[in-house]
Copies of this chain bind each other. A is one copy, B any other.
């Protein structure tokens, strides 16, 4: 059944009465009034991400359950990068009237899975018709200690979680050889693009223990996101490209995995800096979390790649650009 046969009120009812509900204990008023009312935390985090069809995802190739998960998880990644705990979500969904009810149910199912895993309540949103799908999710969060992008100081060590470049490789596979059947049987690289995971536990722990001096999630690409930290902190950086963590799957996929890791976006790993005095505590964390030291913050503004022989050259800052 198509959404245009259901009509707007039925579509909203379907969201509101989605099996399993959407609620947390601190929601005083959820979906279905003019606004949501929730108990506010002392430090309120607010973030919003857009996913635009044909720009950020391809509807025919992105299974709706995974798209629902991703729509929330990319926002949770921003909360993770502040060191926060996510609380509430609002979803804005513009979809063609031709869309089938099943698509919406699968999308909501995925959204709810991700919300449940993170302890997040859906408390409201808006729905509209559109020629192409547009998803706008807003997430709130809380934290006692938050980690800005601007806190890095010369001498700080630079760490990154997980492996980088996998999502960019997944996107290339999709663009080159995307067929729905193939996508469903997605391997690790495709999975990293279609269904990224937010690093909430690591982010919150780094903030709580005051281990990270600056933090960002790698959404635009390592080179660009490192440049963000440097610009906001008024500092430079040196990284050793040989230490950038690459998955075995990425090495098999590409002859130049490092370029994908440096310039490819959407990994949603955490890039963070650590004062030298905290280095030992950080390295101890590497038993529980996949984290890799890749360089250090420097005085000045230059961002350099330094190889094992000590040769330095400027790092190319090339990331995803929405308007080109």
Contacts and interface: CB of A to CB of B under 8 A. Distances in A.
Interface of A: 3-4, 6-8, 11, 28-29, 32-52, 54-56, 78-79, 81-82, 84, 88, 90-94, 97, 123-132, 134, 136, 138, 140-143, 146, 148-150, 215-217, 232, 321-324
Given A36-B46, A37-B82, A47-B90, 5 more contacts: A28-B43, A34-B215, A44-B140, A46-B123, A128-B322
A303 to B, nearest CB: 15
Contacts of A78: 34-35
A251 to B, nearest CB: 29
Contact of A324 (B4, B81, B150, B323): B4
A127 B128 CA distance: 19
Contacts of A93: 50
Contacts of A28: 43, 146
A322 B56 CA distance: 24
A90 B217 CA distance: 19
Contacts of A215: 34
Given A47-B36, A140-B46, A54 B322 contact: no
A316 to B, nearest CB: 15
Nearest to A203: B34
A47 B124 contact: yes
Nearest to A127: B322
A241 to B, nearest CB: 23
B52 A134 contact: yes
> Of A43, A51, A91, A138, which is in contact with the most chain B CB atoms at under 10 Å from its CB?
A138
